[in-house]
Structure 1
Amino acid sequence: MDATRGSISSTSTQSTKDESIGASNPFVLRHGRRYLRDLPYPLPCDLPEFQRQNLHTLLSTSVFGRPLGSTPTPNQPLTKVLEVACGSAYWSSLCHDYLEGLGHKDVTFTGLDVVHLAGDLKKQGIDWRFVQHDLRKVPLPFDDGEFDMVVMKDLSLVVPLGSPSQRVLDECTRILKKGGTLEVWETDHIIRSLLPHPPPPPGKNPEEYACAVSTATFLISPGTPFTDAQNKYLQDSNSWIQEALDRRKLTPTPCARVTQILLQEPETLCDVGYRRVAIPLGELRWEREAVADRNPSKRRESEPVKGKKSVAESLALTEEQASLRYTALLVVLQMIESLEPLLKEVSGKNQEEWHRWWGWMMADLLEHKGASSGECLEVGVWWAHKV
């Protein structure tokens, strides 16, 4: 995976000139970032955040091996796909290319969001349209059974817990045709540490396991051994994110909830499946040690020769695997950056204190490889069919 490498500053700026904020403008400037006006959505709506979300989508589709969790079949052809809260609609473009490669050439895509942020996908040869709608208002502006697939992607920071999320789920199910597929994509916003040498999940899917091995990621099952994050800066951000999202009735760990939510809909949804993956944020100590143990005659001191990698460092991960993990670390750091106003509020830090903490965290995680104790970004995709 060719991750975009670059520095991250603690204060992002708009790359384009911001227009004055008027009553008809859906955006407002706060703390130098552009946000949706009068909506509880906690993330900014500006170019740095769009780039982070696109990078996150690319990362997730890379570790899953494709932009769909479910598998299209001749008995369930896809002709109409809806991406809920589509943002830049990058997922739709990836899915279009994937389906076209499988021979599904007549698929139409619809993106729904509260504001129009996506470019014109028709210029990419995609049969695509945008529908503007606020998810807080039901019903959704579609007919019963209109779509073959509805994708609810990264809604954990969009829709509050409880009745609002249930209404959105009910609506997405209503507009699915019988036998249609509902997909849910989510990411946990709290970082956990994977304990050394996790066993493969029981009854693992060979294709999914091979993908995990090739990407140096780990399939997650109920028995996968995790512990709290070991890095002190990620411990800080975890506690602040937990409090900030709790205040807004948003969940910091959606991946732990989705399976149960879908299984609680037996009258409308069946054939529930899922795939969860842990992406380490760097090379793990126990991976390096395992490589050294396999090469005792080539074992070196922990400090490599200047300008050269140790045997363990050079063999534990391929360049592609290391790049993928670096991308996961970037996604985490950029997420903390995007949540800066909320995290400063709950942490009680002033601007100077925040900058100091941010600098220490960046140096620890980027320069000193502080996420080497199993810290992982956890992503998941779930699917079910409408009864």
Structure 2
Amino acid sequence: MDATRGSISSTSTQSTKDDSLSSKSPFQLRHGRRYLRDLPYPLPCDLPELQRQNLSSLLTISVLGRALGSTPSRKNPPKKVIEVACGSAYWSSLCHEYLKGAGIDDVSFTGLDIVPLAGDLGRQGIDWRFVQHDLRKIPLPFDDGEFDIVVMKDLSMVVPLGMASQRVLDEATRILKTGGTLEIWETDHIIRSILPHPPPPPGKIAEEYACAVATGTFLISPITPFTDVHNKYLQDSNAWIQEALDKRKLSPTPCARISQMLLQETETLCNVENRRVAIPLGELRWEREDAAGRNLSKRRGSEAGRGKKGSTGLEGSTLTEEQAALRYTALLVVIQMIESLEPLLKEVSGKNQEEWQRWWGWMMTNLLEQKGASNGECLEVGVWWCTKV
């Protein structure tokens, strides 16, 4: 794992070396990673980070079962969709495939970002345009009511809390047509542990609950029981992430505030809905214990009928291959986020490079080899959608 990490870092360094030497480039090289030069954005803008973001998008869409939280109307299908702060625009390509599969073909996609990181989606058969613009500069270069769907994804690391966040929300609402849909996709950066046997959310939608069961995830509602994370290394990273983001007035737990933010916009937004999901970072201890108990009961019943004795050992994983893969992907997303935030976390932790490398090695061994995230540790993701009045 150290070799892989070193390879990623060296690739990043090589690919960004020329950019860092050019005063005209929007990027600068720091700690072997490529960062935006003039924007206080805490994450790098290089290939490893784009791959992490793509992996996170794919993971979230996989556990939600769709690329939109809202359900597009066949009678009045969306014609124009914009992804704000689009990055690589991977979400746009996945949304295009989702809408195409739903029989909605005639959709144009727009991506907006401060730097052109997205490829040419037109080569994939997508009606696509990219607009380069700094999100901090309001107004955005679009007409009032221009889009049927406005998607803001993972902006918690981009837009500070307070007035800046409100201005971006107001602007997203302005460029959305009346009756159009605003969607916000987010991931919490602080890890919590879900307690055993969380109850299904009240008033759950059968389709959403079935998707959670199939993917081995848990729907989150106000009654979902969480506690502070158990894993000691994730406790460390939680504390450092909290401090680092607080200093920059960024939210480490954006999922906790989005519903309230949207519900306050009573004059412009209505029909606020959401879907939040907790993705465990591995097979949970209580899942295995429950499965072992059921297997033991079945075995004893069977042996009593045959008059024989047998083994009472665990019978392998309680997860399907797909469920195990989703959880492993969630763990990778968490680890890669910590890696991307390394310069900030080293600063707030007070660790020098040698101390950080030692802590990093212990963490990787614990999470990947010793399966240290088996006590309910979860990555929390969510999507919120509403309609413009």
TM-score, normalised on structure 1?
Answer: 0.94
**Superposed counterparts of 1:21-170, under 5 Å:** 21-170=21-170
Supply the distance in 2 between the matched residues of 1:289 and 1:91 (Cα, whole angstroms): 38
**Residues 372/112 of structure 1: CA separation in 2 closer, same or farther (3 Å cut):** same
2:339 is aligned with 1:342: no
Matching residue within 355, 358, 363 for 1:356: 358
Structure with max Cα Rg: 2
Q: Alpha-carbon deviations, 1:144-171, whole Å to 9, x = none?
A: 0000000000000000000001000000
- Report what 1:19 is aligned to: 18
* Aligned equivalent of 2:322: 320
For structure 1, the 5+ residue unaligned runs are 1-5, 301-309
Change (3 A) 1:10 1:233: farther
Equivalent position amino acid for 1:129 in 2: R
Select which of 364, 368, 371 maps to 1:369: 371
Are the structure 2 counterparts of residues 311 and 7 from structure 1 closer, same or farther at C-alpha, using a change threshold of 3 Å? farther
Provide the rounded CA distance (Å) in 2 between the counterparts of 1:70 and 1:312: 40
Residue 199 of structure 2: aligned partner: 199
Amino acid at match of 2:370: H
Q: Which residue of structure 1 aligns with residue 273 of structure 2?
A: 273
Pairwise CA distance, 1:31: 0.3
Partner of 1:331: 333
Matched AA of 1:12: S
**For 2:145, what is the secondary structure of its paired residue?**
coil
Partner SS for 1:183: strand
Summarize deviations over 1:25-75 as a string: whole Å, max 9, x none.
000000000000111100000110010000000000000001100000134
**In structure 2, how many angstroms separate the alpha carbons of the residues matched to 1:367 and 1:234?**
15
For the Cα contact (< 8 Å) 1:288–1:312, is it kept in 2?
Answer: no
TM-score normalized by the length of structure 2 = 0.93
- How much does 1:299 deviate? 7.7
Distance 1:60 1:26, change over 3 A: same
Listed one character per residue, the Cα deviations across residues 349-375 of structure 1 (whole Å, up to 9, x for unaligned) are: 000000000000000000000000000
The 8 Å contact of residues 92 and 109 in structure 1, kept in 2 or not, is answered as yes
Q: Deviations over 1:165-187 (max 9, x none)?
A: 10000000000000000000000
Does the 8 A contact of 1:344 with 1:354 survive in 2? yes
Aligned counterpart, 2:262: 262
Quote the Cα distance in structure 2 between the aligned partners of 1:10 and 1:182. 40
User: CA offsets per residue over residues 240-288 of structure 1, 9 Å max, x none?
Assistant: 0000000000000000000000000010000000000000000000000
Give 1:379's aligned residue: 381
Report if aligned partners of 1:150, 1:172 keep a CA contact under 8 Å in 2: yes
Report the Cα offset of residue 24 of structure 1: 1.5
**Structure 1 range deviating more: 35-44 or 16-25:** 16-25
* Partner secondary structure for residue 372 of structure 1: coil
Q: Which residue number in structure 2 is paired with residue 209 of structure 1?
A: 209
Q: Displacement, 1:10?
A: 9.7
Secondary structure of the corresponding residue to residue 19 of structure 1: helix
Deviation at 1:76, TM superposition (A): 3.6
Report the 3-state secondary structure (helix = DSSP H, G, I; strand = E; otherwise coil) of the residue aligned with 1:170: helix
For 1:303, the equivalent position in structure 2 comes to none
User: If each structure's helix is expressed as a fraction of its own residues, which one has the higher value?
Assistant: 2
Identity among equivalent positions (%) equals 77
Indicate the residue corresponding to 1:249 in structure 2: 249
CA drift at 1:7: 4.7
What is residue 307 of structure 1 aligned with on the other side? none
Q: Per-residue CA shift, 1:207-228, capped at 9, x if unaligned?
A: 0000000000000000100000
**How far did residue 311 of structure 1 move?**
3.7
Q: Structure 2 CA distance, aligned partners of 1:102 and 1:372? A: 37
Encode CA deviations 1:302-323: one digit per residue, 9 max, x unaligned.
xxxxxxxx64433x10011001
Distance of 2:11 and 2:299 partners within structure 1: 49
Alpha-carbon distance between aligned partners in 2 of 1:183 and 1:67, rounded to the nearest angstrom: 11
Kindly tell me: are residues 52 and 299 of structure 1, through their superposed partners in 2, closer, same or farther at Cα, counting changes over 3 Å? farther
Residue aligned with 1:96, SS? helix
**2:74 and 2:104 in contact (8 A); partners too:** no
Classify 1:129/1:346 alpha carbon distance in 2 versus 1 (closer, same or farther; 3 Å): same
The size of the alignment, in residue pairs, is 372
